[in-house]
Amino acid sequence: MKNIAILVYSTHHGNTRKLVDAIAMGQDDIDVFDITKEKPEDLSQYAVVGIASGIYAGHFGKPLVNYVKTHLCEGQRVFVLYTCGMPRAGYTNEIKSIVEESRCVYTGEYGCKGHNTFGPFKLFGGTGKGHPDAAEIQGAIDFFVGLKFKRMKVK
């Protein structure tokens, strides 16, 4: 049985998926679910759930948000990863509310720049080219390791 599930929604350039893949590499207690392809019916077997998304018009991907609204289980520890074109506060507010309403424990978040070609930015080749870079990817790994989820027991 796996201990950690990471739900990822990363559709344009795979920015957020890069963070998730780096965290999950070589970890045998992590299941990664690309919710554009697969949505697990039951998350109750996981003590920890990661919610990872690019930021789309200021919000986490709607399919991911809608999924976690109905699938988080009380008592789970939840962390958040995101990439965005323009770093600013507030991207995680909706997710934090869902976590609280689900009676889960919000354990932290990591966000960084990502390559963005949304809307008019596409005309100029986008913003944030080369992001997330190696330092930002390492930052995501360090964030995850700092959460100390290893060897947690599933209730």
Q: Does domain 4-147 have CATH number 3.40.50.360?
A: yes
* pTM for this prediction: 0.86
Instruction: Give pLDDT tens digits along the chain (155 positions).
Output: 468 999 999 877 677 889 999 999 888 889 999 999 988 889 999 999 999 998 888 888 999 999 999 999 999 999 999 998 777 888 899 999 999 999 999 999 999 877 565 555 454 555 556 568 899 899 999 999 998 765 444 33
The letter for the amino acid at 81 is L
Q: What is residue 34's predicted lDDT score, i.e. its pLDDT? A: 94
CA angle 63, 15, 72 (to 5 degrees): 35
**Contact by Cβ (8 Å): 39, 68:** no
Give exposure, 30-64, as e/b (b: 16+ Cβ within 10 Å): bbbbbbeeeeeeebeebbbbbbbbbbbeebbbeeb
Closest CA to 35 of 50, 57, 19, 56: 50
Q: What is residue 82's predicted lDDT score, i.e. its pLDDT? A: 92
Q: Domain boundaries in the chain?
A: 4-147
What whole-number distance in Å separates Cα of residue 44 and Cα of residue 154?
A: 9
